[in-house]
Amino acid sequence: MMRRLVQLYVGLVLYGVSTAMFVRADLGADPWNVFHLGVAKIFSLNIGLVMILVGALVLLLWIPLRQRPGLGTISNVIVLGLAADTALALMPPLDSLFVRSILLLSAVAVNAIATGMYIGAGFGSGPRDGLMTGINARTGWSVRSVRTAIEVTVLISGWMMGGTLGVGTVLYALAIGPLIQLCLPWFRVPTQSKKSMAVPGVAP
């Protein structure tokens, strides 16, 4: 249990850190943060607060998918925004294009690892990833295809609201699905029963 809890919260903090890395790289945010930045721009809100509010609202979309929130779900809503704001406060803006490019590539990798960690801990998907696993379970479409479709949809919506996008946005949208599918088996933690071990919609 302790290992799972540590993995959950380390994963959530890393996800928030990856968000800050995308922002500081300034080469295009990942699709969800294009959306968050767009909302923040319209309502003049802090991005961390927007992440928390959007996470709570996305939970409403779980209802028709019959997804059940867990500790990981609730923790996701709260921790991501707090971790992102904290990391942004500690991470200064960068001028070097080379350094920003390395930061961008690292952000994609950290994001995929973080997602695998907190989903693999078995405490329930986060609101956004619950959409991915829920649609996968109801349709049989692959995690890769579902995640990519969600990212592209959110990206277009965020861009229309004025969110920042660029080469990093395209890279993330195309690469994150395959990377998450690769990372999930690494971090799946065995539990006492198959039911508790399973992640909804993701084949073991």
Say whether pLDDT at 129 is over 60.
yes
Q: Are 126 and 80 in contact (CB under 8 A)?
A: yes
Percent of the chain with pLDDT over 70: 93
Say whether pLDDT at 196 is over 80.
no
Between 162 and 14, name the one with better pLDDT.
Answer: 14
CB atoms within 10 A of CB 186: 10
Name residue, tokens 């084949």: 203
* pTM for this entry: 0.80
Report how far residue 100's alpha carbon sits from residue 105's, in angstroms, rounded to the nearest whole number.
9
**What is the DSSP-derived secondary structure letter of residue 190?**
P
> HSE-up of 116 (CA within 13 Å, CB side)?
20
Name, in order, each residue with C-beta under 8 angstroms of 31's C-beta and a sequence gap of 6 or more.
150, 151, 152, 154, 155, 158, 169, 172, 173
- E strand residue ranges, 64-174: none
pLDDT band for position 191 (50/70/90)? Answer: low
State mean pLDDT over 3-24.
93
